[in-house]
Every structure is written in C-alpha cells, then in structure tokens.
Amino acid sequence: MFPCHFHSLIRLSLSHYSLPLLSLLHSSVFSINNNIYCYHQYYSTSRYHSVKGLSGNPSSYLISRLRKYEALHKKCGPYTESYNKTVKDLSSGQLSESSDCKYVVWISFSGLGNRILTLASAFLYALLTNRVLLVDHGVDMADLFCEPIPDVSWFLPPDFPLNSQFHGFNQKSDQCHGKMLKNKSVTNSKVPSSVYLHLVHDYDDEDKLFFCDEEQNFLQKVPWLLMKTDTYFIPSLFLMSSFDQELSNLFPNKEKVFHFLGRYLFHPTNKVWGFVTRYYEAYLANVDERVGIQIRVFDTRPGPFQYVLDQILACTLKENLLPDVDKKHGITGSFGRSKSKAVLMTSLSSGYFEKIRDMYWEYPTLTGEVIGVYQPSHEGYQQTEKQIHNQKAWAEMYLLSLTDVLVTSSWSTFGYVAQGLGGLKPWILYKPENETAHDPPCRRAMSMEPCFHAPPLYDCKAKRGADTGAVVPHVRHCEDMNWGLKIVDNHG
C-alpha cells in the first residue's frame, strides 16, 4: 500500500463557474479504498488555490480525454489481466496482437524539478498515443506525490522484469531507439516488444528522430516504450503534424499545458502538504500581497554574491514588485493601516534572504508598505537523492506557486514548476555574465510554460537543420535560453 492515494472529497459540477480547477480536471466519483487520504485534494480546493490573473477552465475535450485515460489505466494498470498478459509477452519477447494495452514507462532520473517536468511530458505523450503511463518509483517518488489516477496505481510494480536494467540504459543499449536507427535495425516487419527512448539532454541526432512523425508510426506498434529524459519536451510535440489537431483540441489556450497537466498529476503527500500549509498559515496567509523570489545561482563557489543581490533588487524595484527604502528617515509618517507584503524567498543559500530581510527591518519603505521576508530552508547544496531535501524542495515549489507575483532565475526547472502550477507569468532574472548583474535585470515571461532546454533543431520533412523556434507561431525560443523552445498563447 502506497503512503498516499488520491481521493476526491468534492463533486464535479461544470455549470458552477466558481468551482476550483481541481474539481474540473478530476473525476467526480472515486471509490475510497483505504483510510489514508491525500489531504491536499480537499484543502487546496478551498483555501490555497485562487489563481490570480488566470482565466479560463480546461477544455471539455481535455476533461473527457482524462476520463477516457482513467478508464484505460484502470483496464491496463498494474496486475490487471491485460497488464499481466503484456508483461508475459515482454518476458518471452513475443508480441501478442490480442492485447490492446500499450505502455510508456517513465524512468526516474535527474533532480526533482526535472522529474516533475518530464513526468508531465511523458503523461501527455501517453495521452496522445493511447498508452498507459507507469512510473518508476526511483528513490522517493511515493514519498513526494499522491496517486493521481483513481482506483489503480500509476507506479510500476517492483517485479516488473526490466526494473534492474533501468539504471544501465543509455545510448549504447541495444534496445535504444537511436542506436537501432543508427544500425538500421528498425523495420516494420520485425517489431520489438520494448524500445528504450533516450531523450536526455546529451542525446544525438538519431535519438532526436523520436520527434519525427515517421518514427512515431513505428513506435506506435511497440507495446513497451521505456523513457529516460531530463527535459520538458512538450514544445516539440506541438511541432509534429500527427499530434497537431489533438493538441489544439486539448489545449485551445496553449500556454496552459503544464498548468493543467501539473494540477492534474502532482499532489503533495500529506507530509509535504503539512510543510506547505503550516508555512503558508504562519507567514503568508494574512497579508495583502505575496511576492515569490526563486534564486538559483550556477556559480559553484560559496555565495552569496553581491552581483546576484544587486540584480534581484534592481528587478523587484524597477518592476514595482517591492518598494524602495528610505535611508534618510528612521520612521514613516503614518501609523495607520499600511499595505502588507510577504516576500517568500527560496535559495540554497540564506545570504540573499538575510540581506533583503535586514534592509526592510533597518529602514522604512518609501511607500509606507510593511514588508516581511521569509525563507523556509537553506540546504546549502542540491541533494538530489535525499528524501527530506526533496520533500522540502517540493513544498517550496508549491509555496511559490501560491504567490501573487513571482520572480524566477534563468534556466531553473524549480522556477518553471512553480510558475506553471501557479499559472503565473514570472519576471525572469537574466543569467549573470562575468559576475556582473545584467542590465536590464529581468524581463516578463511570454507565457507561464516551462522551457525545453535541448530541442532538436531539425526539419523532419526536409531532412535538414532548421530553426524550430520559427515554424509555428505558438512555439518560440525561450526568454532565458535562446536555443530553447517554449509554448506561448498565440491568440492574445
């Protein structure tokens, strides 16, 4: 039994405009099959998720496809008759034409932010190809996330025959799709029972052919696709003609892809949700505005760094996210009710938090606003394999998603997750160069969507290199990484 199963305590009513987003995305009726509740499901709908600046519900088509996916998952999920038969075929190496269950196995890999983004990518791919997504436990997935699918687990069973091979899968593996293409061993007449998809940032030209429609025709026949990735590859799915119409139906407003998928898939376990609610109630609940500042510094030396602090302050002051302070006068002229702001900072270092906290403690603001500055943790360095570190990181991503305005760091998947879950278009801090704060210090994001850091730059039809950020109006190059791709809303 897993530590937290998904249970909904609300009922779906599409006619009720004010109903929370979660109740629209999730099924209206769930059987309660154990006594452990995922409390996030109930409380997030009532207090913590009034997303400001985000209009529009998920499309009715997306909702219907999620219900169909849940039915397929229930039919084909772990230890069902269909699953057992398909696993038996996998072990024997034989293909059975009678099975209508095919799978994508997501292999747990990389840091937490990457895992969240890649799991959303794998789920959308499963939705587009009528496959069931099964999730590798990794070291801590069940300690971080509740089960999102009703009645049946999304976790890969521990006795899955290929579990022991996951760690060793790479581009040299015989079942790697890219290697098979390189060796010209891919034929429609001989379809393997499983194929490994290497979609990691170091993938080569043959691996990238995954994003070509011609290769999808072959992969559609393979019962088991084993996927390892550390990138948010959804933008490249939007460039594929075979998925174009379905994606348009699912997401009429294209910049909400991760927002809707993330809110459907990722629900903190009770321990993580406890971190979120206790911190929110203690420091963020009773203020007029919440400002999130997510800091990720790629300098390997011990910080804090003055140029980073200068850039944070330049951005927040220039964009009127935070007020400047009055260093000439020791007290404000008014003792009445002042506007209050809570600044939630996340960083591996406590140095930036301490500097900004002290600034607002030592000097009054020019506007008379009262500023409180808070940072839940400062772990010092990233500890990808440590459970409590990842639980705190997940809680902090979620807390950032509950802010009203958000500042994020370039290239950071931590920030991407927060902005996507919260439906926020952040101000992105430019990546500093030569230990100098960038001028301008930041810019507003085009959309709330994450950036695909390692997209293929290839035209599948012309079979030559191409600028994939200029193919369709809703896929452009990222603000923080000029070779990356992100989805934008091309209707506004």
What would the pLDDT profile of 408-427 be if each residue is shown by its tens digit?
999 999 999 999 999 999 99
The reply to whether 187 and 334 lie within a common domain is no
What pLDDT does residue 49 have? 57
pLDDT at 34: 34
Residue 45 belongs to a domain = yes
Mean pLDDT of 98-114: 93
Question: Distance (Å, rounded) from C-alpha 262 to C-alpha 271?
Answer: 19
Regarding whether 187 and 135 lie in a shared domain, the answer is yes
On whether the CB atoms of residues 438 and 432 are closer than 8 A, the answer is yes
Identify whether residues 229 and 373 lie together within a single domain.
no
State how far the Cα of 487 lies from the Cα of 242, in Å rounded to an integer. 18
Q: Is a pLDDT exceeding 80 seen at residue 33?
A: no
- 205 and 142 in one domain? yes
pLDDT of residue 276 exceeding 90, the answer is yes
Residue type, 395: A
Residue 298 near residue 415, CB atoms below 8 Å: no
- Residue 267 binned pLDDT confidence (cut-offs 50, 70, 90): very high
The answer to whether residue 273 scores a pLDDT higher than 90 is yes
For residue 43, pLDDT beyond 80: no
Q: How far apart are CA 322 and CA 342, in angstroms?
A: 10
Task: Identify the domain boundary among 201, 233, 265.
Answer: 265
Q: How confident is the model at residue 56 (pLDDT cuts 50, 70, 90)?
A: confident
pTM of the full structure: 0.92
Residue 43: how many CA atoms within 13 Å on its side-chain side? 16
The length of the chain is 492
Whether 16 is covered by a domain: the verdict is no
Same domain, 323 and 258: no
Domain assignment present for residue 355? The answer is yes
Higher per-residue confidence, 45 vs 149: 149
Percent of the chain surpassing pLDDT 70 = 86
pLDDT digits (tens, 9 = 90+) for 358-401: 999 999 999 999 999 999 988 656 665 678 999 999 999 999 99
Strand partners, 290: 342
Structurally, the chain folds into a number of domains equal to 2
Say if residue 117 is in the same domain as residue 257: yes
The answer on 335 and 437 residing in a single domain is: yes
In a domain, 492, yes or no: no
Phi/psi for 196 (5° steps) reads -95, 130
407 pLDDT above the threshold of 50: yes
pLDDT (0 to 100) of residue 299: 84
Please check whether residue 4 lies inside any domain of the structure: no
Looking at residue 41, its pLDDT comes to: 60
Residues 255 and 315 in one domain: no
Burial of residue 367, with CB atoms counted within 10 A of its CB: 0-12 exposed, 13-18 middle, 19 or more buried? middle
Among 43-47, 234-238, 428-432, which stretch is predicted with the lowest mean pLDDT?
43-47
Domain assignment of residue 406, yes or no: yes
**Confidence band, pLDDT 50/70/90 cuts, at residue 492:** very low
pLDDT at residue 298, rounded to an integer: 87
Rounded mean pLDDT of 339-364?
97
Task: Indicate which CATH number applies to the domain containing 371.
Answer: 3.40.50
Sign of CA dihedral 73, 75, 77, 83: negative
| Core vs surface per residue 431-455: b (16+ CB within 10 A) or e | bbeeeebbeebbbebbbbbbbbbbb
pLDDT of residue 264: 95
Grade residue 12 by pLDDT with cuts at 50, 70 and 90: very low
pLDDT digits (tens, 9 = 90+) for 427-448: 999 999 888 888 999 999 999 9
CB atoms within 10 A of CB 151: 16
Q: Is the pLDDT of residue 174 over 60?
A: yes
325 in any annotated domain: yes
Same domain, 244 and 387: no
- Pair (313, 432) in one structural domain: yes
User: Can you tell me the distance from the alpha carbon of 69 to that of 317, in angstroms, rounded to the nearest whole number?
Assistant: 46
Q: What's the maximum distance between 2 C-alpha atoms anywhere in the chain?
A: 82
Q: In a 10 Å sphere around its CB, with 0-12 CB exposed, 13-18 middle and 19+ buried, how is residue 371 labelled?
A: buried
Q: What is the 3-state secondary structure (H, E, C) of the chain?
A: CCCCCCCCCCCCCCCCCCCCHHHHHCCCCCCCCCCCCCCHHHHHHHHHCCCCCCCCCCCHHHHHHHHHHHHHHHHHCCCCHHHHHHHHHHHHCCCCCCCCCCEEEECCCCCHHHHHHHHHHHHHHHHHCCCEEEECCCCCHHHHECCCCCCCCCECCCCCCCHHHHHHCCCCCCCEHHHHHHCCCCCCCCCCCEEEEEECCCCCHHHHHHHCHHHHHHHCCCCEEEEEECCCCHHHHCCCHHHHHHHHHHCCCHHHHHHHHHHHHCCECHHHHHHHHHHHHHHHCCCCEEEEEECCCCCCCCCCCHHHHHHHHHHHHHCCCCCCECCCCCCCCCCCCCCEEEEEEECCCCHHHHHHHHHHHHCCECCCCEEEEECCCCCCCCCCCCHHHHHHHHHHHHHHHCCCEEEEECCCHHHHHHHHHHCCCCEEECCCECCECCCCCEEECCCCCCCECCCCCEECCCCEECCHHHCCCCEEECCCCCCCEEECCCCC
Where does a domain end: 205, 231, 265?
Answer: 265
Q: Do 249 and 334 have their domain in common?
A: no
Residue 81 has pLDDT above 90, yes or no: yes
Q: What pLDDT is stored for residue 303 in this prediction?
A: 79
pLDDT-derived band of residue 18, with 50, 70 and 90 as boundaries?
A: very low
Q: How many Å apart are CA 322 and CA 148, to the nearest integer?
A: 37
What CA–CA distances, in Å, run from 425 to 147, 163, 405, 449? 28, 39, 8, 8
Q: Tell whether 253 and 288 lie within a shared domain.
A: no
pLDDT at 356 over 80: yes
Token pair belonging to 70: 């849940």
- Comparing 195-199, 314-318, 386-390, which segment has the lowest mean pLDDT? 386-390
Last residue of a domain, one of 265, 288, 305: 265
Residue 444 dihedral angles phi and psi, to the nearest 5°: -75, 135
402 to 98, 277, 344, 376, 487: CA distances (angstroms) = 47, 11, 10, 14, 22
The pLDDT, as a whole number, for residue 27 is 67
Q: What is the pLDDT of residue 16?
A: 26
| Domain extent at residue 215 | 21-265
